[in-house]
Structure 1
C-alpha cells in the first residue's frame, strides 16, 4: 500500500464495530490487526503473519536492544498488580475502606474524592489512570459504586487535567511543539509557555469534560449503559457484570487476608507517588540540555520513572506484609495472583499497540489530515479541526500522535490564511485529541483507566462513550463561536452553558439512583 487511502480507516472502525457488537475486546482487536496487515501486504497471508510477528516482537526488542518503553509499562502493571494483591492480603485495602467509610459517608462523596484526587495527580496521565483507580477502589467499593463508573471518573479527569497543566509530561511535550510552530511562522513575540497558558481557556473539551463529570456525580446523571451498572451496584451490590471474567487488577477472593491497618495501603501508595515524581524529575534533569521546570518535564522518562518508583513502592509493600508473618505458601500465592490479575490488561494493551502500529503504517492520520485545506470558511476551521482531531485520535488510539501530525498542519493553515486563528486552531487540535482518546477502545489511556479501576475494558468503553460525546457537543459549539467571533470568553461561556443545559436535560429525564 503506497498512498494513504480510505482503506486505512477500515481496521479501527472494524475493531470498534466488533467490540460494540460482540462485547469481546481481544477478538475484535485481533480482527482489526489482521485486516490492517492484509491491506499493508496486498492481501498476502504469509506476509501479513510475518508483519504482525515483527510488530509483536518489536514490543519487546528493537534493533537488538530491549524496548524499554512498552516493556517498562508492562513491568509497571505487573508491579502494581503485585502491590495491590499484597495490600489486600495484608488487610490494608479493607482497613482503608473501613476508615474511609467513617469519613466518606455517601456515594457522591466517594466519587467527589476520586475526582479531587485525579485533579491533584496531574503529573502524567498513565500514572494518574493507574494510581487514582487503585487508591479510590476501596472507598468506591464500600459505597457500592460500579467499577465502570469509577473508570469513567478516572479517565475523564486524567487526560483533561494533564493537557491543561504546564508542569506535566503532556504540558511540557505540547509546549515544546507549540514553541517550534510559533518560531517557524515568525511569531517570536509569543513563547511556548505563554501561548500554552493563553490556550488553556480555549481547550473547551478539557473544561466541559471535567465540568460534566462533576455534574454527573452531584446530580447522579447515570444514563445509557452506565445506568445498568450503577443499578446493579446499588441494588445487588455487584460492582461488576457477573457474566464477565478476567478483570484487570482483581485478586482471587479465596486468598486469605490479615487484620491490617490504614498505613498498609497509604504508605506504599504514598511512597509510590513520591518516588515516581522524584525519578521523573531526575530523568528529566539528566536528559535536558538546559534545566528548567518545563525542560525537565519535557525530557522526563515516564516509563522508567514508573518502574523505579513502582519497585520502591513494592519493596515497602513487601516489608509491611512481612510484618504480618505470612506463610511462604500464602505469600507466593498472593504474588502469583497479583501477576495473574494484570494479564487481561496486558493482553489488551499488547494488541492495542500492534493495531496502533499497523494504523500508523497505513497512514490513517495522514489520510485524515488531507480533509483540512484552505477552501474551508475561516470561522469553521477551529470546529472542523476539533472534529478531525477527535476522529484521528479515535482511529489511531493516540493523542500524542494526533498532536504531532495535526498541530503543525493547523499552524501552517493559520499562518497562511489568518494568523489570529493560530492559537484557537492549535487549541482545537488539543481538545479534539482528548475527545477521541476518551472514545477510542484502543487508546492506552482508556485501557489503563479501566485497569486501574478494576473494570472490564469493554464496559468502560461502552459506558463512557455517551458521556464523552455529550461533553464534546458543548465544546464543538464553543469552537464555532470562537471561530466566528474570535472571543475566547464567549466561546468558553457558550461551551460551559451548553454543557450545563445538556446536563439539566438529562437530569430532568432520568430518576436518580439513590444513596
Structure 2
C-alpha cells in the first residue's frame, strides 16, 4: 500500500474542523471523504468524485452489516415517530412526575433506561431519547445533558456485554491472536476477565450518578444547564437540533395515555426475549443478524400496536396513525445519510492509512508497564480521527496482544486499554455514528453535544490513563476502584474550578416558580 504520510490525517481533520466551524455535519463529512479520495487519486477531482460515489459511498451503503443497520434505523424511526407523536411520551412524562420528581432523579432514570436497552448502541439513544426528552424538558435538564446521558449509556454499556455484537466482534479478534500465540484461554473467558480493566466504560457509567447526586457541572455543560435552569430553554437559540422537538399540545378530544408508549415498549422487549431465548439469550452469544431481526420485528409490531391503540381510543384515524409512522421513518433520512458518509469517511481513512500513520508515530521502544497507557492513548487518537471504535479495535488488538506478550506486559490490561482508548476517542469524535445518534435522540445540536460532552469524557479519560499506568505495574482488578475514585475526585475538582454545583431542585420547586 502506498504511504501518504501526514496527508493521511487530512480527511478526518478536514471533517472535524469544518463541522466545528460551520456546524454542518453532512457537508463536513462529504468534504472529508472528498479530501481523502483526492489524495488517493493525486489531486484529480473528476476521478476522485466518480470513485467516491462508485467505490466508497455505494460500497458502504451496500455492505451487509451497514445495509442491515440502515433498514433497522427505518424501523426504529417509524416506531419512535408513532410513540412520540401519539402523545404517549408526554403522558408518560406526566405520570412519571410523581417518582421522577427531581433533577437528580431525572438523570438517574435516563441512565437506568439506557443501561436496560443494552442490546443495541444504535437503538438505545433514539428509543430512550424519545421517552425522556419531554421528562428532561419538564425538569429543565438541558438537551446537551440528555445527549450526554444517551451517549454514555450506549457504547459504554454495549462494550461490556459479551453476547451481543460488540462482545462477539471483540472476542473474534482476541481468539485469532490467542491462537497465534498458542495461549490456552478461551476468548469468552478472556473477555470476561478484561471487563474490570475497561476503566473508561465503567468510569463513564459511574460518572452519571456522581454528577446527578453531587450536582457538580463544569465547562460548556455548566453553561448549558444554567441556561435551561434559568430560562427553560432546552437548547441555545442558534442551535440546529438533528430532529425537531415534538409539540404535544395539538390533541383534540380524547387525551393520549401512557399506555401508548408502555405497551409498544413491552411488545418490543417481549419480541426480543421471545425470539432470542431459543438461542440462549441473554447468557449465550447471539448472531448479529438474528439480533437485528428480533429488534426490527419488535419495533414493527410495537408500532402497529400503538397505531391500533390510537385508532381504538379515537385519538387518531388509521390514516393519521399511518402518516405518523411514515413521518418518523422520513425523519431518519438525514441520519441515514450521515451514517453512510461517516462509514465512507472511515473507509477513505483506511485507504489512505490514517490509523497506520498514527500507530507508527506511537511506536517505539517502551517498557512493559507503559504498554497499556501507550495503547490507551493510541486507541483514543485512532478512534477520534476515524470516528470508529470497532475499526480501532480491529487495528490495535492484533498489535496489542503480541506486543504485550513479547514485552511481558499484562495482556488483559493491554486489551482493556485498547477497548477503553477506542471507546474514549469514539465518544469524543463528532464523526462517530453513536455520537450523531445521541444528538438526534436528544433533539440536540450535534456540535453543542460534542462540546459539552468532551470535558466530561476527558475527565474519565484522565482517570483511566492514571489507572492504566498503575495497572501496568500492578495488574489486579482492584485498580478499578482507583480509577472510579479518580473520576469522583476530578469531577469535584473540575466542578469547583470551572463550574459550580447545581441545586437538585424538584417538581414542586419549579411549580412554585411558575414553571
TM-score, normalised to structure 2's length? 0.90
**Aligned with 2:386 (options 365, 371, 396):** 396
Instruction: Determine the C-alpha separation between the residues in 2 that align with 1:358 and 1:112.
Output: 39
Alpha-carbon separation, structure 2, partners of 1:461 and 1:390 = 15
- Aligned equivalent of 2:508: none
Partners of 1:127 and 1:311 in 2: how far apart? 13
Instruction: Give the aligned partner of residue 205 of structure 2.
Output: 210
> How many Å separate the matches in 1 of 2:58 and 2:189?
42
1:417 is the counterpart of 2:402: no
CA distance in 2, matches of 1:243, 1:484: 49
Distance 1:102 1:242, change over 3 A: same
Question: Could you tell me which residue of structure 2 aligns to residue 241 of structure 1?
Answer: 236
How many aligned residue pairs are there?
500
Shift of residue 349, structure 1, vs aligned partner: 2.0
CA contact (8 A) 2:160 2:195 kept: yes
Q: Report the counterpart of residue 133 of structure 2 in structure 1.
A: 137
- Answering whether residue 101 of structure 2 is matched by residue 105 of structure 1, we say yes
1-side partners of 2:5 and 2:250: how far apart? 52
TM-score normalised according to structure 1 size: 0.90
Worse-matched range after superposition: 249-258 or 27-36: 249-258
* Change in 2 beyond 3 A, CA 1:345/1:292: closer
Paired residue secondary structure (1:407): helix
Q: Which runs of 5+ in 1 are unaligned?
A: 62-66, 286-290
After the TM superposition, which of the residue ranges 203-212 and 101-110 deviates more from structure 2? 203-212
Deviation track 1:31-82 (CA, whole Å, cap 9, x = no partner) reads: 2122111111111101111122112223444xxxxx5533343333333333
Secondary structure of 1:454's aligned partner: coil
Change (3 A) 1:12 1:70: same
> Could you tell me which residue of structure 1 aligns to residue 72 of structure 2?
76
Give the Cα separation in 1 of the matches to 2:28 and 2:44: 21
Q: 1:182 aligns with which of 178, 182, 197?
A: 178
- 1-structure distance, mates of 2:270, 2:122: 15
Q: Cα deviations across residues 414-449 of structure 1 (Å, max 9, x unaligned)?
A: 22221x521111111011111011011111111122
Deviations 1:6-46 (A, max 9, x none): 21111112211222223332232222122111111111101
The 8 Å contact of residues 273 and 281 in structure 2, kept in 1 or not, is answered as no
Is 2:493 aligned against 1:492?
no
1:468-483 correspondence to structure 2 within 5 Å: 468-483=457-472
Correspondences of 1:308-347 after superposition (within 5 Å): 308-325=297-314, 326-327=316-317, 330-331=320-321, 333-347=323-337
- Quick check: 1:280–1:302 contact (8 Å CA) kept in 2? yes
Distance 1:498 1:375, change over 3 A: same
Paired residue for 1:120?
Answer: 116
Asked if the contact 2:268/2:302 (under 8 Å) is kept, the reply is yes
Which sits farther off after the overlay, 5-14 or 431-440? 5-14
RMSD: 2.5
User: CA distance change for structure 1 residues 328 and 197 in 2, over 3 Å: closer, same or farther?
Assistant: closer
Instruction: Using the TM superposition, give the Cα deviation of residue 99 of structure 1 relative to its aligned residue in structure 2, in angstroms.
Output: 0.2
Task: Name 1:57's counterpart in structure 2.
Answer: 58
User: Could you report, residue by residue, the CA deviation over 1:182-241 in whole angstroms, capped at 9, with x for unpaired residues?
Assistant: 2221221x2222222221111111122112222122222322222232222222222133
Q: C-alpha displacement at 1:373, in angstroms?
A: 4.2
Contact (CA 8 Å) 1:276, 1:310: kept in 2 or not?
Answer: no
Specify every segment of 5 or more residues in structure 2 that has no aligned partner in the other structure, as ranges: 506-515
Q: Mapping of 1:293-442 within 5 angstroms?
A: 296-297=285-286, 299-325=288-314, 326-327=316-317, 330-331=320-321, 333-373=323-363, 375-418=365-408, 420-442=409-431
- Provide the C-alpha distance between the structure 1 equivalents of 2:477 and 2:97, rounded to a whole number of angstroms: 43
Equivalent residues of 2:439, 2:445 under 8 A apart: yes
Cα pair distance change 1:341/1:56, threshold 3 Å: same
